[in-house]
Amino acid sequence: MNPWLLSIPLAYLLGSIPFGYLLVKIFRHEDIRATGSGNIGATNVARSGAKGLGIATLLLDAGKSFLAVKIALHLAPGNYDLAVITAVAAILGHVFPIWLGFRGGKGVASALGVILALSPATAACTFGIFLVVFLLTRYVSLASMIGSATFPLFGLYFLPQRTPLVIAGLIFIPLLVIVKHHQNIRRLLSGTESRFGKKKGE
Ligand code: NKO
């Protein structure tokens, strides 16, 4: 079977598994979309008081998209055009899951997973930037956006192929992540964004 026809729909389907939503529903019988920021991501799951489920959400959301890209690279070794388009499909699955009326997450953990599969060095550098901004500000959203913004630079440096499709993917992924943070941007500007591990107002 043509690896494109297999990898891309599979990536969307894997990406669209809303682990944060499912874990909170199964273990706490709550709808994560009704608490905190309303996001289905690891940060909001942890914020809702379920630290362990937050960590599990991060690992599973990153893991599903990591797997999607690894499958593409397995079916078509060295084809980074396919790998990057598969990466985009997995993130689109997470951000626009058919199961939740196309209202999904912000794509941070799923982007981390695809980057790890595409280029571990790029993932390490992007995560490093994330960590510095997070430790300085305690804003996960700001760290995610600044990490995203630097990702194309590291990707261009470390990825073995720089085709037009690869470059387009490297630019599209952070744009999507940042656009999905529009409410966080508004809260950051008005000083009402919540800092990780702190109650409102601290
Ligand atoms: O609830 O709106 P919220 O405050 O939850 O959430 C904002 C947050 C949404 O994202 C998540 C996933 C949290 C993952 C945190 C650790 C992952 C560190 C990886 C950073 C690398 C950045 C990669 C982006 C590349 C395009 O932001």
* CA–CA gap between residue 107 and residue 144 (Å, rounded): 10
126 lines ligand 1 (CB under 6 A): yes
106 C-alpha vs ligand 1 centroid, how far in Å? Answer: 7
3-state secondary structure 21-32: HHHHHHHHCCCH
Mutational pocket test of ligand 1: of 69, 144, 151, the residue with most ligand atoms within 8 Å of the beta carbon: 144
Say if residue 107's pLDDT is above 70: yes
Whether 147 lines ligand 1, by a CB cut-off of 6 Å, is yes
Contacts of 45 (CB under 8 A, 6+ apart): 20, 23, 24, 32, 53, 54, 57
Q: What is the pTM of this model?
A: 0.96
Query: ipTM strictly over 0.95?
Result: yes
Mean pLDDT of all residues belonging to the chain: 97
Question: Does residue 123 have its Cβ closer than 6 Å to ligand 1?
Answer: no
Q: Is the pLDDT of residue 8 over 80?
A: yes
Helix/strand/coil for 189: helix
Domain regions of the chain by residue span: 3-190
Mean pLDDT of 34-59: 97
